[in-house]
């Protein structure tokens, strides 16, 4: 196969990783979009909010690990494909000269062991930086179990790195793999990355992200967001992503597949077959997690502000901000003329830009009714109950 044929295969296998959705306001939409044009060109959003395209692929797809949610796990039977570092670097550099791209996102199945795989990823970035003089965006995936030396090498060439946390805690993690260790392969490397990229670290210019695989175990939203909030505060994580489980454990309707599912301790899955697609409830759960994450990062909410049901999950019918507002009637209505930006951010439908516009416009125009705010009709309908003049 030539390089483009390999990319067509490897990019399809890279579709489950969202960590290159740079700065997007609606990152959950990226997992639902088809690739645009060639399969390895991935639509994303720049840090400034504009649209862009990134080249996103795996270096190889034959994984040595046994993650039960992953269709590339070790016992699966498919044709292995891999790219050499120079092959990948030269193809990307020549392609981006013809069609401007935001950058490149490189990940890989574990090819032998973590450090061997990291060497391929880092070599590709090194060739781009040193041989081709490329100064653009490079996102490198950190392979679980990678040594500190490998991670430092990646940080020296990357604009961004990511290592998926996968599950909130070792208990859930152990249900999905018998070959990886949560503390050694996930938590310790994440902690080391935080030390190197945090304030005052050697590589503070490098942005970081991680991802939860939602629904592959029986974790609750409460567990996920508890871990997530601590990753933001303790690990200074730049972004977290939430990917609804998309299959990989096999379809019970296929002979021989049911036994394999039963051996996984009857994992609580929203979807047991990639050919069936991801269920509507799983996608909505993913969406609610992103909304809650947005409250934590952009709206001044704390983890303790989030409201969960008896099962420990977010409400699928209503967004978490509305649930909080309905649970705190004593906080409303808030005055359009006197409320602080922080108070306005608690109003359903009011985001940072609208809150700033309301506060900043008080001295320049008279407000006699809510219509004077000139909010979009849908936003005003959502916020009206919680506002007063």
| Pairing verdict, β 41-45 and 160-162 | unpaired
| C-alpha neighbours within 13 Å on the C-beta side of residue 13 | 25
Query: 140 — phi, psi (to 5°)?
Result: -115, 130
Q: Note the pTM of the prediction, 2 decimals.
A: 0.84
Tens digit of pLDDT at every position of the chain (389 positions): 888 888 877 777 666 665 554 434 444 454 444 444 456 777 776 655 567 888 888 888 877 666 676 666 666 666 778 889 999 999 999 999 998 899 999 998 888 888 999 999 999 999 999 999 999 999 999 999 899 999 999 999 999 999 999 999 999 999 888 888 999 999 999 999 999 999 999 999 999 999 998 988 899 999 999 999 999 999 999 999 998 886 544 332 333 333 333 333 333 332 333 333 458 888 899 999 999 999 999 999 999 999 999 999 999 999 999 999 999 999 999 998 889 999 999 999 999 988 988 888 776 777 777 887 888 889 889 999 999 88
Please give the Cα distance from 77 to 83 (Å, whole number): 19
Please give the Cα distance from 235 to 303 (Å, whole number): 16
DSSP state of 21: -
272 close to 283: Cβ distance less than 8 angstroms: no
Q: Write down all domains in the chain, each with its CATH number in brackets.
A: 3-243 (3.20.20.70), 328-388 (1.10.150.320)
Residue linked to tokens 């040595």: 64
Query: 54 — phi, psi (to 5°)?
Result: -125, 145
Q: Tens digit of pLDDT for each residue in 4-61? A: 888 877 777 666 665 554 434 444 454 444 444 456 777 776 655 567 888 888 888 8
Q: Tens digit of pLDDT for each residue in 130-144? A: 999 999 999 999 999
265 close to 333: Cβ distance less than 8 angstroms: no
């Amino acid at each position: 196969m030539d390089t483009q044929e390999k990319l067509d295969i490897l990019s399809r296998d890279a579709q489950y990783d969202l960590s290159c959705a740079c700065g997007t306001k609606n990152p959950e939409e990226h997992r639902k979009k088809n690739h645009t044009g060639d399969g390895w060109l991935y639509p994303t959003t720049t840090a400034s909010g504009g649209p862009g395209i990134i080249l996103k692929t795996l270096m190889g797809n034959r994984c040595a690990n046994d993650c039960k949610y992953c269709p590339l796990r070790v016992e699966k039977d498919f044709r292995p494909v891999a790219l050499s570092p120079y092959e990948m670097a030269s193809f990307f550099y020549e392609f981006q000269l013809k069609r401007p791209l935001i950058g490149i996102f490189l990940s890989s199945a574990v090819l032998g062991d973590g450090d061997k795989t990291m060497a391929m990823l880092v070599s590709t970035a090194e060739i781009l930086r040193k041989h081709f003089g490329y100064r653009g965006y490079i996102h490198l995936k950190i392979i679980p179990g990678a040594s500190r030396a490998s991670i430092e090498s990646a940080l020296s060439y990357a604009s961004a790195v990511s290592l998926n946390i996968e599950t909130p805690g070792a208990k859930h993690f152990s249900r999905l793999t018998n070959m990886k260790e949560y503390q050694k392969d996930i938590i310790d490397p994440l902690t080391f990355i935080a030390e190197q990229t945090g304030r005052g670290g050697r590589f503070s210019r490098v942005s970081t992200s991680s991802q939860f695989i939602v629904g592959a175990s029986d974790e609750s939203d409460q567990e996920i967001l508890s871990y997530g909030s601590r990753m933001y505060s303790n690990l200074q994580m730049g972004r977290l992503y939430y990917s609804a489980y998309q299959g990989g454990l096999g379809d019970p309707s296929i002979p021989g597949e049911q036994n394999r599912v039963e051996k996984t301790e009857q994992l609580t899955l929203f979807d047991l077959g990639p050919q069936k697609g991801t269920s509507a409830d799983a996608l909505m759960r993913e969406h609610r997690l992103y909304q809650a994450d947005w409250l934590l990062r952009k709206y001044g909410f704390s983890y303790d502000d989030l409201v969960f049901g008896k099962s420990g999950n977010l409400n699928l019918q209503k967004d978490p901000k509305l649930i909080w507002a309905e649970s705190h009637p004593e906080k409303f209505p808030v005055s359009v003329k006197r409320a602080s930006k922080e108070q306005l951010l608690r109003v359903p439908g009011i985001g940072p830009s609208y809150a700033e516009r309301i506060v900043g416009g008080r001295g320049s125009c008279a407000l006699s009714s809510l219509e004077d705010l000139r909010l979009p009709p849908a936003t005003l309908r959502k916020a009206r109950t919680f506002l007063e003049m």
